[in-house]
């Protein structure tokens, strides 16, 4: 545990703070995860009102925290709530204290279920004792979640392998590991598209009292994935949209603060639109902007945007196009060209800035 604290402190040691450039970025996650889909949805709404947000993939929550603290032009990041709880819990550590002081919450978003995918013979968390388990990439939130869960349940795995989810799935097929953790909002695209019934894998129930003391209970309904026949009890965290504390009287802090306020207002004003069929990710149905998943101060910039006179409301937009992630390069290029052509079309007559 101490090693994890030291690793996190090293990753999150502060420099002079971020500098905002002409184009702002939102840090998300793996291309097959839910974070990047949410980032794309937010960026699409912002672009409708002339604000360009670059959607940046990442290894996950730990990298995202570091990016908000240190990378230029990166005012937004999606972070797991247990990562934020961890930072707050160990705020007596010098570096984590500075991290906690520098970050602010924009909104809580949706719940993320803990997926534990395993080979046959592993039916509960305790069965991971003596096994080889993939616990996530080094900069991912999955790493923190998996490490805390194994430690709290008293599970002594033979090897906790720090690799990303794509590599972990390949390693399971090759028999190099026995199970893998993945924290992602259901349905996780990786498991929906890259796992089949022929693999013989299954989701392991997580019902241990020690774990449920730390995490909220959740379920992965039967049929969430084509190969999943029964409902699986598990636990969940909440994804949280975070930002930097832009409080200095400098031009770039004022510009960044204004961006944070505008994006917060855009999300709040268009939450119902994002929940519409064929628009945003299905997890928008779960978003509660007033939830309190972590004891974290709300960004003053976000508050100013939410209470200010400027409003942003989409009355109509074309349905979101397909995500261009086809492995075939010709089909992927065709998808990108199609989206570019659609973006060049004039907006609908009733799409306006309110």
C-alpha gyration radius of the chain: 20
Which domains, from first to last, does the chain contain? 2-109+240-310 (3.40.190.10), 112-238 (3.40.190.10), 315-354 (no CATH)
Instruction: Tell which phi-psi region holds residue 346, choosing left (phi > 0), alpha (psi between -120 and 50) or beta.
Output: beta
Q: Are 203 and 220 in contact (CB under 8 A)?
A: yes
Between vectors from CA 113 to CA 109 and to CA 114, what angle results, nearest 5°? 135
> What residues pair up with 26 in beta bridges, in sequence order?
55, 76
pLDDT < 70 stretches in the chain = 1-22, 293-294, 316-333, 335-354
Instruction: Tell which phi-psi region holds residue 223, choosing left (phi > 0), alpha (psi between -120 and 50) or beta.
Output: left
**What is residue 332's predicted lDDT score, i.e. its pLDDT?**
60
Q: 79-116 in b/e burial notation, b at 16+ Cβ within 10 A?
A: bbbbbbbbbeebeebebbebbbebbbbbbbbbbbbbbb
Q: Which two tokens stand for residue 115?
A: 């997926």
Q: Could you read off the pLDDT of 143-173 as tens digits, one per residue?
A: 999 999 999 999 999 999 999 999 999 999 9
**What is residue 128's predicted lDDT score, i.e. its pLDDT?**
98
Grouping H, G, I as helix, E, B as strand and the rest as coil, residue 86 is: helix
- Which of these, 156, 155, 117, lies nearest to 136 by C-alpha position? 117
Tracing tokens 């794309």 back to the chain, one arrives at 40
Distance of alpha carbon 46 from alpha carbon 39, whole angstroms? 10
Helix (H) or strand (E) run with residue 179 in it? strand 179-184
Q: Could you read off the pLDDT of 176-207 as tens digits, one per residue?
A: 999 999 999 999 989 999 999 999 999 999 99
Between vectors from CA 244 to CA 238 and to CA 249, what angle results, nearest 5°? 155
DSSP secondary structure letters along 33-63: SHHHHHHHHHHHHHHHTT--EEEE--S-HHH
Residue 37 CB contacts under 8 Å (≥ 6 apart), including other chains: 281, 323
């Amino acid at each position: 545990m101490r090693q994890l604290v030291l690793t996190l402190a090293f990753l999150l040691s502060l420099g002079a703070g971020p500098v905002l450039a002409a184009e702002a970025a939102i840090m998300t996650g793996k291309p097959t995860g839910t974070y990047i889909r949410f980032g794309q949805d937010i960026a699409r709404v912002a672009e409708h009102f002339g604000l360009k947000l670059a959607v940046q993939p990442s290894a996950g929550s730990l990298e995202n925290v570091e990016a908000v603290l240190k990378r230029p032009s990166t005012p937004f990041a999606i972070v797991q709530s247990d990562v934020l709880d961890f930072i707050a819990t160990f705020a007596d550590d010098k570096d984590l204290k500075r991290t906690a002081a520098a970050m602010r919450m924009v909104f809580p978003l949706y719940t993320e279920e803990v997926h534990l995918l395993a080979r046959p013979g592993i039916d509960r968390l305790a069965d991971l004792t003596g096994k080889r388990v993939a616990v996530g990439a080094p900069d991912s939130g999955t790493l923190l979640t998996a490490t805390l869960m194994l430690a709290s349940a008293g599970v002594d795995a033979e090897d906790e392998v720090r690799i990303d989810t794509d590599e972990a799935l390949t390693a399971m097929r090759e028999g190099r590991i026995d199970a893998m953790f993945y924290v992602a909002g259901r349905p996780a695209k990786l498991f929906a598209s890259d796992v089949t019934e022929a693999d013989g894998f299954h989701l392991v129930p997580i019902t241990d009292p020690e774990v449920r003391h730390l995490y909220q209970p959740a379920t992965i309904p039967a049929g969430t994935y084509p190969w999943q026949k029964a409902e699986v009890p598990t636990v969940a965290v909440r994804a949280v949209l975070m930002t930097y504390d832009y409080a200095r009287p400098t031009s770039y802090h004022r510009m960044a603060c204004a961006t944070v306020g505008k994006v917060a207002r855009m999300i709040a004003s268009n939450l119902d639109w994002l929940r519409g069929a064929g628009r945003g990710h299905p997890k928008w149905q779960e978003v509660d902007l007033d939830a309190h998943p972590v004891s974290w101060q709300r960004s003053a910039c976000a508050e100013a945007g939410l209470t200010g006179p400027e409003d942003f409301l989409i009355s109509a937009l074309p349905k979101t196009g397909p995500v261009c992630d086809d492995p075939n390069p010709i089909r992927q290029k065709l998808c990108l060209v199609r989206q570019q052509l659609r973006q060049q079309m004039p907006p609908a007559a009733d799409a306006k800035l309110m």
